Structure 1
Amino acid sequence: MNRTNWNDHLLLWHEATVKLLDIRHVALGKNEELRSYLLPSSGFIWVTRGRAQVTLDGTNYAAQRFHLLHGGKGMCLNIFPSADVLEYVMIFYKGSLAGQGNRKLQHLMEHSNPFQIQYGFAPQNPLALHTIVRRMEESWGKLSVLDKLGSKGLLYQFVHELMGQLTAQEIAAIRPDLVWQAIRHIENNYSEPISVEALAGLLGCSASYLSRLFKKQLGTTPNDYLIKVRMDHARHLLSDTQATLQEIAASIGYPDVYYFSRVFKKHTGLPPLRFRSRAAGGKLVQNNPFHRSGQAIVPHPTHSYNYSDNNYQLVGEGDLTMYKELKLSVAAVMLLCMALLFSGCAGSAAVNDRSITAEASATGENSAVQQAPQTKVVQHVMGETAIPVNPQRIAVSGLEDILLALDAPIVQAQAMKGQYLYETLQEKNIPAIYTPDSLNYEAILDSKPDLIMAHLLPTDKESYEKLSKIAPTIVYDRGDWKTSMAAIGKVIDREEQAQSVIDAYNEKLEQTKEAVAKAVGANNSVAFIRPSRSDVQVFFPAFAYTSLVYKDVGLAMDASVVELEQREEKGIWGVGESLEKLPEIMADHLFVTVGGSFDSEEEAQTALTELDEIEKMKVWQEIPAVKNGKVYKVSARHWMLNGPTADSMKLDDVLQALVKS
């Protein structure tokens, strides 16, 4: 890289806001290694003793005493010591432009980001740098905010000295291959939640820039590539295992099994079970739910890794949180890496960690001398967990309906504008943040909870482990909300209130059943569907979100739906059929859900517009219930969720449709 380029970097360093995040001193023995460590932020690595072979995003370095490396957020680091002891200092920081007004600087940052580039070299004057690093490390290890500020000042001195030596030695920097990094991340974590924005954030660029690079190099988008990876794994699991659709959907990142079926059919032309039937060819399928293809989904990049066996993986989408298999990977831990840094955790190597948490340094607190809170052991979906006896700050994910009904001390919730609980959360001044396709770990961490309550699949050990790193976490089933509410009421000492809510709902349910039976009688049948431009989803009684219609209220399932159910696996949520099948639904009453449970305002309006177009089709107009004016539109924002409020709203919809209409 020429001098002009380094001058650009100097300008950006001068204009940017830089935050020093952590300094840690690491010692590795000869037989110890650091493998596949993803940098949680931009960082310098300063070797102080020993020798090692180092790879940083595929580039090899023979590092020894007084060797300096720099890498950007998300880069993959491997260190293999070749001496008895290797010691190095890691300096983590974050750099960003303070404002968006200067287009020249923004353009420069987009194409020449000094915080994301990679380089490594042996400086001509190492002692000048070493002296600053040593002073910075000593200052960072003290408790006062003044010392922390001193460390930040020393960081600027370090960068000033570094840039001078870089330009003098004409060291070349390597711009990161963002598309390759994104591919690696997708293939490693395809079963986790991800969005283009989140992926771009990990790589230190904008979502639009990453999408342009993907389109230019691969001719596709990051999201389409992610779906391709997921569908490839789904095909292997369907053809090579006897795992249920729910298990397969969850293992590739779709907790919403009907959404998975819809996407699978769109990309393969067949519903999942028909694909399995054809693949089986009449032979017994092997029961191996974690079988993987022997071939990579795409060719691996040409970067050379001589010292480690790196298995690259990535993540996804849906109505709610996505889920992964049971093994917790280093790539997954990256999502909580900043939390781990500030809590003094040391990654995957034996580390002599001299860092302290930013919060402790600011408040002067010493957790070692604080009196341990009184705890009790609670049994839940994931096992047993010791929690505070009287929790005062509860972060909630997926169980907001239950916790609000119990008037619990909530400090963080998952909701978005338009969702049925959002206004209530706003009125109670409870922070409500929703990150598409993901748990917002950063927001949960910032809320400083003493307890986390979540709705997770039993197989989602990874999300549970990540939440447990923030605070004690207990998990309950939202679908069976009455049982969960009784258990939660006991946990937070609100048993009487929990029982009161359950009793009130049961009373309303009985009143609804009586009114519906009187209004429509025993001979009327119903069907529950969700149509799109390409197909229609028909829901069965086993579907947790619509079982209320069949099992609780007691309405009869239409014979056409019974026939569809008998063709599928027992206990399945429903089936996707072509729009041509719509006239075959002979139900007297047709409930039509629109959109998804966590649709944005724009997505909800798009779903309504799509339904308007479907209603103009001839196949729609030929449905018997449509001809008779017995079609009732209901919102997925509460029908596709469970809880005392959501189910009460469903009862109101049923009453409005069948009794008051």
Structure 2
Amino acid sequence: MHVEEHVKLWNLASIKIWDVRHVVVRAGEPIHAYRFPISGFIYTVRGNATITLDDTMYAIDQMQVLHGGKGVWMNISLSEDSFEFYLMFYRANLSLSNTRENQALLRQHVPFHVQYAFAPSYPIDLYDKVQRIEQHWERTDAFSKFQVKTLFYQFINELMRQLSAQGIETAKPDLVAQAVRYLQENYMLPVMVDPLAELLDCSAGHLSRTFKKETGSSLITYLTRIRMYKAKELLLHTDASLQKIAEAIGIPDVIYFNRLFKKHVGLSPGRFKQKCIALPTGQNNAIQESELSIVSPMHRGYDPIDDDNYYQYNSKGESLTSMRSRKPVALLLMLSLTLLISACSPSQGSSATSSNGTSGNNAPTTEVAQSTESTVQERVVKHPWGETVIKGDPQHIISLFPAATDYLLALGIVPQAASSNEEGSDQFPTYLSDQLQGKENLGWQVDPNYESILAAEPDLIIGQDFMSDAYDSLSKIAPTLLAEKLQDEQGIIRMKTSLLHMGDMLGKTDQAKQVIEEYEKKAAEAREKIKQSIGDETVMFLRLSDKEVRYYSKRNYEVLYDDLGLTPPVSIPDPTDSMKVISMESLPSINPDHIFLLSSDENETTELQKTAVWKSLNAVKNNNVYIVDYGLWFQGPGGPIGQSKIIDEAVSFLTQ
């Protein structure tokens, strides 16, 4: 353990004691699948037991210390008649100064999340502090609560000192294994990525990326597969109605359940039951033999609603493997689950061949064919990911990303449903919200939520090019096109080329050309106004926060440096990079005349704006710093509507 680094982070953290418990467990009442609601310490007092934190087992005697991060699963199996211990839960908030040393320290060492267990050389010193903490915690006066925090810091100080002397090894919690277990045990509940990420003490984006990287599937897709497996099991082994089965797997809408089951299995629930029950004995044994390995029995743990802890849980017991660390098997679970879902399902035809080629500037090939069954025309659009057949004039179009929504609205197409403006938000992009009033918000869709997309019942899906891995899955729901942000040879994203490309795919080429013509006229007029106002004075676009300074390139901001002809500082990053992180101390060497300052929180720039380095800049001294709207200036570049509104704001700022 890197104790010195851990001590530095403990010193930087703001600590809040969340709960303190004194627990006595009796024989026959093991603690089973208890999930830590927050980071915590276990201090054992009497008795012997085997404690498992996630998949690591520890043989525990009296007077030992264990630590686990938020979301860790704990099991306790007794070796004697009783087992006594203390639980101390705490929350640690870090407010790091903007130094590279502290940022690197945080990336490498997070003492509040790691798992470890050890027998202290001087247990009485720690026991005395833990006992006094519990005694003061039971009191309600302010002095006692303050004493709890004081004693907790003394406990940490003594703990770190003894850990340093003993050289204890730590283990990082397995995020994906914890998420898989949660999904297996809570598939009947509404499961959303953001609350689950909060439960596991990480960001929703990090959880989604890590889960998909290790399992090859998004969280929602994985959850749906668990639900469909359980639905198959209930259909084959019970006479429950479809409504009861749908409710049992967390899908109360039986119509939606029918549609989802047929999409994933290839048969309606009723047809599936008839077909599989008619099979010769033994042909559906895969389900019978594997049910416990895929979906574990329900376990009671911490209930975040009523803040109750179930320390005693009567179970039939479970066998324990050898006393060694066991690695999570998320990938094997995923493979097994995939195989099980295929049981009793009809063979599926292969999907249209798709290409993994990168975006290019070639316009998509569109062919028009007459349907042999009706008078409805079909358009076949060829693109880097394959071919999309669009029948007639789609009326229920949905957009999965703000830039795609921008393209659609510019072309006169109002989607019936669209994504939100950022992760964790249920609002449309601010600069597009007036045109989307009354439309359905699909939430943040960077990692497509197939259930919400399916529920929207689209007849055309417009995604973004970074969703190429999801193209085949999206195409199974409805015809899908991916809007592309096309770059030139310098790496600069060209809005006009991208819009024309989208217009060609949608059969809106003339409308795209008209939008481009009007945009060029607007940009030319604005360029002249700004030139008369500030001449060749330099303009810098950056994002300043209490964590870092981001210096943005021309890659996403052609609207500033090409369309408006603004003069960038000589040190502007190369367009092949969207931005680069620079130190606060380097800003005086750049020293721009004007600064467009991006901020998602009006309070986040407060501290750095108070520094002498910031106040020394020409733009600051001349009152030429312009705080710009995050929704527009971060989501808007690359879209014709967004860039038009950025032009309006830039003219307003630079000519005032």
Q: Which fold has the larger relative contact order, with Cα–Cα distance below 8 Å and residues 6 or more apart in sequence?
A: 1
Please report the TM-score for the alignment, with normalisation by the length of structure 1.
0.46
Q: Give the number of the structure whose alpha-carbon radius of gyration is greater.
A: 2
Please report the TM-score for the alignment, with normalisation by the length of structure 2.
0.46
